[in-house]
Structure 1
Amino acid sequence: MKDMFEEHNGYIMSRHSKDVNGALEITYYVKIESETVRVIPERQFSTFFTNAPLDYFPTEIQNVDVKESGLRDFNNDPTLMVRCGSVVLQQQMIAFIQKGEYLVYEEDVKPQDRYLMERNIRGAVRFIGKRDGNTFTDAKIIPGDFTPDWKVWSLDIETSVSRNELLSVGIVSQTNQIAFVVSDKPQDVPNTYFFPDEQHLLLALIKFFKRHNPDIIIGWNVIGFDLLFLDKRCKFLGIKPAFGALGEAWSIRTVEGKGKYFATIPGRVVLDGITLLKVGGYQFDSYSLNSVSKSLLDDGKLIHGGDRWQEIERLHAEEMEQFVAYNLQDCELVKRIFDKLNLIELQKTRIDLTGIPLEQTGGSVASFENLYLPRLHKAGWVAPAWRDEPFVPSPGGFVMSSVPGLYKNVLVFDFKSLYPSIIRTFYVDPLARAVASHLASVTTPNDTPTDISTKLNLDNGQHDQDDEQPVPGYLGANFDRSVAILPALVSELAQAREEAKRNGNEILSYAIKIIMNSFYGVLGSNVCRFYHAELASSITMRGHELLDRSKKWMEEQGAKVIYGDTDSLFVTLSCPDEEVKDRGSELCALINEGLKKWCKEFAGLDSYLELEFETLYTRFYMPTIRGQEEGSKKRYAGITDGKMIFKGLEAVRSDWTPLAKRFQKELFDLVFKDEDPKAYIQSFVNDLKAGKLDEEIVYTKQLSRPISHYSKTIPPHVRAAIIIDSKRAELNQPLEYSHGRKRVSFYYQHSGVTPFENGDLITNADYDHYIEKQITPIADGILPFFGLSLAKILTKQIELL
């Protein structure tokens, strides 16, 4: 009934703001028990801050409130809070303030985000408001604990490349599979609806969305391809893309030149599988659906390869049941990947921790600011204004030149969450840096804590730091430990992660790890308002110091450090095999005690640094830089717990052939077992020359940009793409690689680079190329440790013939 107050629990699906009749309206689409509703809070303002004085403003500005905020900026100047009743008014006020050459702060924080941020609301909510149909007005919203039972649809479309038209839309949910197909010959195909043209299909699809009301749409490149194509066809046909939860139109947009696409659907969320895999830290040689599903599910697409569009069009015209099966199989594969890796639960957990929008799959900066800004305001400060200053990249992680060789019993020591631990231990924090810098400019060595408080304009009249000195950083930075916010935040997250581990909640533990590890990158990124070169450098350079110091202490204990990388040290010990693990644990404990003592001596700090004895490689290989005697970096192989591990070597690199990967794995298996590899190498080369390994000699490499953009140099994979598209152009067929960002397959004939497409036969292969470019570099990386080379082995083979 209209104007009746109702209370509900729910979860925010999407958030919006716009001017309605000259006034700001904030709207949240909330999933409640059985439906999705609009929730409009009591009238809100769009808020920002400025250092302009109060007398700069006219006495009264209609629908604008200007008053002292009680907050100071990072220059320790007082600020005003400016609240505007509409988005247009805010834009006008910002222009007015900047015209007077004053600064504005936090003007880019969206009203719908600030409302939630100030109330510590993440995803789950409780609200009460006046109900009128699907809309609640004058609502009051507080944090809740509602767990939604989401309706998830895996969506995939098929198109006619030759006609640039929609052929079908497949949908797989938790309970059903359905396909919408354009065809003038309806057939008896299960779970399939047929339509005479695209217009009828799209209108039916919109009705289907409204009737069955999905919450989350998942897919593979689902925004950049599927939804974008549907949006273009809707526009072409004059159809309103009313796919929103209550019949609103969606918005599909792109960032020009960056290949990034975004979808805003009121009341619904779109999650792309490729993006979530990368956010979750999953790495694959190729992120194509076929490649990922084969790796994770041991299953794949029913059709794949460069010419699959031709087969798709043929199936649509001649074998409808197989066409529908292909469409729905893609949907099913995506759903199974999401289910297997709990990708939706991982995304929800990130939202519950940080409060970023559910649709925001990236957003490290937004996550940081959502966590940091409320704490900053509570402490009495506003975020700094955006600065137009040169970007100074921080030094990268610690990487030392390795000591190449074949080893037994290599121990790997890792610093647990090194960068978050440095932030926590050494008070690395944007506010702490700014306050220390300001104090250094206005105080003298004889100032008392009360003097300092007066100069900082602290309300409590006492600077909490007492006699403690700021913590030194790098590039001239110092950090005032009394005001630091980030160390406490990292501490809260670290404790929550340990609790999640104890409770066996792997998803929560991993989500917290992602968030904590993102802080360094955020502080070193000039797309973050808190960026300062001193912040990121005080993290990475402190990491260098800690690794160097730990290396020195280990060597004083008789250990030999053969390599170091970011947060790890690789060490050999002179002791019997049966004593290695115990000696490693003792060494680890010794270093941790040394770090605690050093932190106290350095600046009276409690150490949160923790070195862990992570891995024991019973056999280990560290190569040289190819063609040099110097040890390489970020490349090694070893055996731990009976499993062979490759890092940075050919066996795990996507730009090497399957031939090279198999050769390296099998060769190292022999070497690590102390078996003579000569007979294996001879046999492998013989099989290659006899054509027995032709299926493994194809290269695949990703185009990073359209082929027309390669002008100065034309790499082999680009030459292959040019050949393919040139043939297509001659046949008046759509070009395959004109837009780039696709993988190209090719191999070498005696005549040079030859494209390889699905179904092609390998002919006239240049086996000498593969011996020289794929086999020799791998073999000659390890054979010198035995006084051998591939040339010697093959020469002896020829002499024996």
Structure 2
Amino acid sequence: MSELITVEGFVLTKQQLKTKYGFALCYWLTSDLGPIQVMVEQQEAVFFVLSSDLLQILALLKSENILLRTQALGLKSFDQQAISGCYFSTLHGFYQAKKIIQQAGFRLFEADVRHCDRFLMERFIRGSVLVQGQAIKKQGYLTLQQAKMKPSTYQPNFSVVSLDIECSGQGILFSVGLYSDDFDVVIMVGAPQHSEQNIVWVSDEEQLLVQLQRYFVERDPDVIIGWNVIDFDMSLLYRRAEQLGVPLYLGRAQQAMQLSERAVGKLLLPGRVVLDGIDTLKNATYHFNSFSLASVAEQLIGEKKLIESDDRLAEIEHQFKYDKLALAKYNLKDCQLVWDIFKQEKLIDFAILRTQLTGLELERQGGSVAAFVNLYLPLMHRSGYVAPNLGDHNHHFNSPGGYVMNSQPGLYQNVIVLDFKSLYPSIIRTFLIDPIGMVEGLLAPTQSIAGFHDAYFSRTAHHLPNLIATLWQARDVAKQQKNKMLSQAIKIIMNSFYGVLGSTGCRFYDPRLSSSITLRGHEIMLATRAEIERLGYQVIYGDTDSTFVQLASELSAEECKKIGFLLQKKINNFWCDYCEKKYKIASYLEIEFETLYSPFFMPTIRGSLEGSKKRYVGQVSDANGDHLVFKGMETVRSDWTELAREFQYNLFTLIFAGDSVEVYIKQVISDLMAGRLNHLLLYKKRLRQHLSEYVKNIPPHAQAAQKMSMKYPEKTPKRGQWIEYVITLDGPVVATEKPLKLNLQHYLEKQLQPIADSILPTLNMSFAQFLSGQVNLFEN
């Protein structure tokens, strides 16, 4: 028996399934009633064609016995041609027709949009959903048939488990750890041993996989989290199950896990989401020199893995052979580290917010283009257009990047920074930059707003400015409520819109669109500089959306801030007046007085008198005291040694405090050449390609890795691996080799001297004056 019910939930997974009536859409939800399988039956897949091609296309498909229905639609292409829809009741027919029509050279529109995505997109469903359907109770879940869906504001409360596997170098499974806030277990291959830990002992890999499936049924998680969990853990489980001939039904309703070679959506676990810690952190714009679990855990939660050996795999294999209890502890600790990172950084909350803002799947990495399509496509259809295909614009020139002014190098006592708040989104919103807006604007240029490269934008027909306005208002509310996560999520989405329009991988890419954003940015930065200088202040640098203004040295911090807020008001008024007088539009450009640097240093380009770009250091003061801010300098670059970073930081600390640097520089040189700073001489750089691909102009870190590989072939580093090395009298050597002879002269000339030479001339000094009496090479 079934009954009609209405329930709210959150979409976990989506599928297109063949049925005896054609095909259906299957959505798995989490809800207050538990997991729900939603079935939307008797669907039609659609793509669009030019109405002028329809008769020829129908004749072509009829000759291949492909069934479809067609409909003339009130839609048109960007070049104003009428559009018809082609509807298919089977996926086989859809894909077969698509192939035939493309091979015949006819234009297709939106043939790459999956119907399970389109169904949600056109209903503005982004994660949270209200469903009505005939409910049938199954074992552990509900199925809703003949379902109808619409958006809701439901907030899910996921059941989550952290998963981690341990295995040999050949991929043979040793153990699987599962961890949550109220449950933990390690499934270990081996003879039972007494332990205080919750260890389930199994006889072999087959039994390990069987036991793992049992826990998935019992615990029934919505979300599985882990570290590189899709590409490593889940992929290895899938491959081992295949090799061993063991069915692996980890999905809900005892459905099998599906793994493909696709870059996007390679893993499908029906009814469950697999969230990778690395991908989720990157989506939330976290930056680390290394995204290894050991490195991230130490930086974020101050904890370490239980095995810190340089050869972690060898230690894991040793423990499996001789100390399985230690391996179980290590396995579970990795699960717990991932759990604690997700919990502390609220990564699942961030993933939910991202889905609710964009409609992207929870686990989707990147996806700026897909997010834009999700948001824009249904709005565009309602304006009477179908989406263009890649390259439909026929304009081939490169859009410029953000404007960067030439800097005026030197040491300054007071410099204030004025930043445009979300410059590119505010340009889009102010000057009505929009794909549909440009199509309509080019039809009536005299009534539109001029962009760049002969682009024009309609004053009334557009969507992107309104989307940004909605997001902007939501972000302001989030800020007022001190919801930093929501504010950050919205900022990421808004800032991605320019990148999408400037990406050749986006169907809406047109260089006239992206140029009308960046070149407007150039115009705004130049006019802002001119207005500030008209008001009597000197601009010494500008970068994309930031303007650096020199103020008189004798001014106090309060006087500088007063001027900063005065300039903020005047510049905002200037742009309001400018936009109204020239374009009859409202300005959403908003500049903010952001920072007072006191002092501030802008270096020259090395070996030149010309000022550098995107490199500076300044001191800011707040309630916690004075702090140095480095941009683009060696202190914030991972490919410089700790020696260089410490030297630069201490040098500027002394200079900004007005103290002498002579004694400090002499001491550092003396300590370096005496071997007292050897612990600071480590370089660290990632291999960007396979070691065998480094043939000509081999960089030092690759040289060091090649030497180690020749000596220890089993330890050959892989692409993407970080190489820690030092420079010896015999060249670069991996740090674990423990060299006896360091080339200290190299560190003097390549690490200390460039840093000193960037600042000392400003003080009428040179590094050379400190080098008298130094010999060329020192051994230690």
Q: TM-score, normalised by structure 1?
A: 0.91
Task: Tell me the CA shift for residue 568 of structure 1.
Answer: 0.4
Match of residue 770, structure 1, among 744, 747, 768: 747
One of 308, 312, 327 as aligned partner of 2:312: 308
Kept in 2, the 8 Å contact 1:5–1:130? The answer is yes
Establish whether residue 179 from structure 1 lines up as the match of residue 186 from structure 2.
yes
Identical counterparts, % of pairs = 40
For residue 390 of structure 1, report the CA deviation from its aligned partner: 7.5
CA contact (8 A) 1:76 1:438 kept: no
1:283 Cα deviation (Å)? 1.4
Indicate conservation of the 8 Å contact 2:21/2:42, yes or no: no
Residue aligning to 2:615:
635
Q: Does 1:530 align with 2:508?
A: yes
1:684 paired residue number: 668
Following the alignment from structure 2 to structure 1, what is the Cα–Cα distance between the partners of residues 21 and 386? 28
Q: For residue 361 of structure 2, what is the aligned residue in structure 1?
A: 357
Counterpart AA for 1:295: Q
Q: CA deviation at 1:122?
A: 1.2
Give the drift of 1:348.
0.5
Q: 1:645 aligns with which of 606, 629, 636?
A: 629
Q: Check if 1:407 corresponds to 2:387.
A: no
TM superposition shift of 1:63: 5.3
SS for the counterpart of 1:200 is helix
Is 2:764 aligned against 1:787? yes
Going from structure 1 to structure 2, the CA distance change for 1:90 and 1:261 (only over 3 Å counts) comes to closer
Match of 2:9 in 1: 10
**1:673-715 CA deviation, whole Å, 9 max, x = no partner?**
1111111122122222333222221111111121112222211
Which residue among 721, 726, 738 is the counterpart of 1:747?
726
Aligned positions of 1:279-678 closer than 5 A: 279-387=283-391, 392-439=397-444, 469-574=447-552, 576-577=555-556, 578-641=558-621, 642-678=626-662
Q: Check conservation: 1:52, 1:102, Cα contact below 8 A.
A: no
Task: State how far apart, in whole Å, the 1-side matches of 2:693 and 2:238 are.
Answer: 28
Equivalent residue, structure 1, for 2:692 = 708
Structure 1 position 194, deviation (Å): 2.0
Structure 1 position 188, deviation (Å): 2.5
Give the C-alpha shift of residue 796 in structure 1: 7.5
Pick from 136, 144, 152: which aligns with 1:136?
144
SS in 2 for 1:246: helix
The structural deviation recorded for 1:34 is 4.7
Is this contact kept in 1: 2:390–2:505, CA < 8 A?
no
Q: What are the ranges of 5 or more consecutive residues in structure 2 without an aligned counterpart?
A: 776-780
1:101-149 CA distances to partner (integer Å, 9 max, x unpaired)?
4322111111111111121211112212223324222111222232222
Contact 2:427/2:589 (8 A) holds in 1: yes
Q: Distance in 1 between matches of 2:663 and 2:103?
A: 80
Q: Which residue of 1 aligns with 2:202?
A: 195
Tell me whether 1:146 sits opposite 2:150 in the alignment: no
Whole-Å Cα distance in 2 between the matches of residues 55 and 261 of structure 1?
Answer: 37
The answer to whether the 8 Å contact 2:309/2:315 transfers is no
Residue 719 of structure 1 corresponds to which residue in structure 2?
A: 703
Tell me the residue number matched to 2:233: 226
Letter in 1 for 2:545: D
Query: What letter is aligned with 1:147?
Result: Q
Q: Which digits, 9 at most, give the CA deviation of each residue in 1:551-577, with x for residues without a partner?
A: 111111121111111110111123622
- CA gap 1:8/1:372 in 2 versus in 1, 3 angstroms: same
Structure 1: runs of 5+ lacking an equivalent: 441-467
Matched-pair contact (CA < 8 Å) for 1:75–1:438: no
Residues 36 and 143, structure 2, Cα contact 8 Å, conserved in 1: yes
Which residue is equivalent to 1:756? Answer: 735
Are 1:151 and 1:174, in contact at CA under 8 Å, matched by a contact in 2?
A: no
The aligned runs of 1:15-54 (5 Å cut-off) are 15-21=14-20, 23-53=22-52, 54=54
Kindly indicate whether the alpha-carbon contact (under 8 Å) linking 2:411 and 2:602 is maintained by their aligned counterparts in 1.
yes
Q: Which amino acid aligns with 2:159?
A: K
Q: Distance in 2 between matches of 1:796 and 1:409?
A: 39
Per-residue deviation, 1:261:
7.8
CA distance in 2, matches of 1:774, 1:674: 24
Q: Secondary structure at the match of 1:795?
A: coil
CA distance in 2, matches of 1:313, 1:425: 61
The letter for the 2-side match of 1:433 is M
Comparing 610-619 with 496-505, greater Cα deviation is found at: 496-505
Q: How does 1:81-120 map to 2 (within 5 A)?
A: 81-98=85-102, 101-120=105-124
- Cα pair 1:401 1:631 within 8 Å, conserved: yes
Quickly say closer, same or farther: Cα 1:392–1:271, change in 2 above 3 A. farther
User: What is the one-letter code of the residue matched to 1:692?
Assistant: R
Q: Matches of 1:702 and 1:597 in 2, distance apart?
A: 51
What CA RMSD, in Å, does the superposition of the two structures yield over aligned residues?
2.1
Measure how far apart 1:530 and its partner are. 0.6
C-alpha spacing 1:392/1:14, structure 2 compared with 1 (3 Å)? farther
Whole-Å separation in 2 of the counterparts to 1:597 and 1:45: 52
Relative to structure 2, which stretch is displaced further, 55-64 or 401-410? 55-64
What amino acid is the match of 2:760?
L
CA 1:137–1:515 in 2, change beyond 3 Å: closer, same or farther?
same
The separation in 2 between residues aligned to 1:267 and 1:723, in whole angstroms, is: 49
Residue 478 to residue 786, structure 1, CA distance change in 2 (3 Å): same
Equivalent position SS for 1:753 = strand
Offset of residue 672 of structure 1 = 1.0
Query: Compared with structure 1, are the counterparts of its residues 434 and 615 closer, same or farther at alpha carbon in structure 2 (3 Å cutoff)?
Result: same
Cα distance in 2 between the residues matched to 1:123 and 1:470: 37
Deviation at 1:99, TM superposition (A): 5.5
**Residue 451 (structure 1) aligns with:** none
2:129–2:150 CA contact under 8 A, matched in 1 = yes
Distance in 2, Cα, partners of 1:429 & 1:499: 25
Distance 2:21 2:691 in 1: 49
Paired residue type of 1:243: L
Query: CA distance change for structure 1 residues 714 and 187 in 2, over 3 Å: closer, same or farther?
Result: farther
Distance in 1 (alpha carbons) for counterparts of 2:25 and 2:337:
38
Alignment correspondent of 1:217 = 224
Q: 1:47, 1:83 within 8 Å by CA — same for their partners in 2? A: yes
TM superposition shift of 1:793: 1.9
- In structure 2, relative to structure 1, the CA distance for the partners of 1:305 and 1:637 (3 Å cut) is farther
Selected match of 2:251 from 239, 244, 250: 244
Cα distance in 2 for partners of 1:24, 1:253 equals 21
SS in structure 1 of the partner of residue 75 of structure 2: strand
- Return the letter of the residue paired with 1:683: Q
Distance (whole Å) between structure 2 residues aligned to residue 10 and residue 411 of structure 1: 49
User: Post-superposition shift, 1:422?
Assistant: 0.3
Tell me, yes or no, if the aligned pair for 2:66 and 2:97 is still in contact at 8 Å. no
Per-residue deviation, residues 238-280 of structure 1 (Å, max 9, x unmatched): 2233211222122233457xxx883221111112222222221
Within 1, Cα distance between the matches of 2:309 and 2:21? 54
Question: Could you tell me how far apart the structure 2 residues matched to 1:420 and 1:667 are?
Answer: 39
Q: Is the 8 A contact 1:52 1:103 kept in 2?
A: no
Contact 1:74–1:435, Cα closer than 8 Å, also in 2? no
| Secondary structure at the counterpart of residue 323 of structure 1 | helix
For each residue in 1:479-520, what CA deviation from the matched residue of structure 2 results, as whole angstroms up to 9, or x when unmatched?
122212111111111111111211222221111111110000
> d(CA) in 2 for partners of 1:604 and 1:128?
48
Task: For residue 22 of structure 1, report the CA deviation from its aligned partner.
Answer: 6.5
Report SS of the residue matched to 2:772.
helix
Instruction: Tell me the secondary structure at the aligned position of residue 144 of structure 2.
Output: strand
